[in-house]
Structure 1
Amino acid sequence: MHWATALIGLPWSVHGRGPDTFNCWEFVRTVQRNQYGRELPEIGNPEDLLAMGRIFRDHPERQRWPKALDPMEGDCVLLRQSRHPIHVGVWLDVDGGGVLHCSQGSGVIFQHPDALRLNGWAIEGHYRFIGDT
């Protein structure tokens, strides 16, 4: 059984501050810390999705996460529903590969790329941790 199975169904919360409630960024931070030993910074106000997307795009931490062409286990996956990326998850090499993410209305779910598209998400890019630059 994959470690992510225990996370499926945990609830979403805009503030993501409870012990088992998350917004998308706090979920990714938790997974990166607990499963991969990587510390990611907090990102501003999760209620302002466009501002959060800009902060994510421009944050200095992004230098340690360059865009990758082919996804690998543990990569961050930036998602969008329109022009602007507003959501993030973690790529897992499970059952052909997919994104583990926490979204409003669903909580923590694992979706293959085709299911993401059916739910209106487009993958903006996969970002791989390379460590200190």
Structure 2
Amino acid sequence: MLSKFVGIPYVAHGRDYDGADCWGLVYLYYRDLLGTPIPSYSVEMHEREFHRRDIGPLIDAEKEKRWLQADAPSPGDCVLLRAGRYNSHVGIFLGAGKILHSEGPEPSVVARLDDMRLRSRITGYFRLKTDGLPSA
């Protein structure tokens, strides 16, 4: 089942299997694999013409509403990463030290969290709160 999430082309603000950005991939994973609706933020990101550095405040706002920070990741948790000074990337922890993510211009991949290019950028692990979620 995971294979349908690997190789999705990177498309800024994309939210489907024809193309997705990092949050789009998280959105698809939670919706289609976990059966848990989360906001897509596609309209907000498109209307505001978000740049990569602008995703941080959106992710920070989202994590305050629906996510709990975890000391260590469990499968399905979101991994928040920075680029430079900004929280600007997110992926899904799969377990066994692996993350599913989409970071343009490359398509979505499964990578190892201990890869130096990822490990040094991790700013936190976040678990979706189970209470207060909208119904599907």
Query: TM-score band (shorter)?
Result: 0.7 to 0.9
Match of 1:13 among 6, 11, 15: 11
- Which residue is 2:127 aligned to? 128
Separation of aligned partners in 2, 1:14 and 1:121: 24
Runs of 4+ in 1 over 4 A off after TM superposition: none
- TM-score if structure 1 supplies the norm length? 0.83
Deviations along 1:16-54, one digit per CA (max 9) or x if unpaired, are: 145421011111001011111211113222642232210
Separation of aligned partners in 1, 2:118 and 2:17: 27
Does the CA contact (< 8 Å) of 1:81 and 1:120 recur in 2? no
- TM-score if structure 2 supplies the norm length? 0.81
Gaps of 5+ in 2: none
Deviation at 1:67, TM superposition (A): 0.5
Identity of aligned residues (%): 29
Q: Superposition pairs for residues 40-119 of structure 1, below 5 Å?
A: 40-43=38-41, 44-45=44-45, 47-59=50-62, 62-93=64-95, 96-115=96-115, 117-118=116-117
Bigger Cα displacement from structure 2, 18-27 vs 44-53: 44-53
Q: What is the aligned-residue RMSD (CA, Å)?
A: 2.1
Aligned residues: 127
Which one has a larger percent strand, Structure 1 or Structure 2? 2
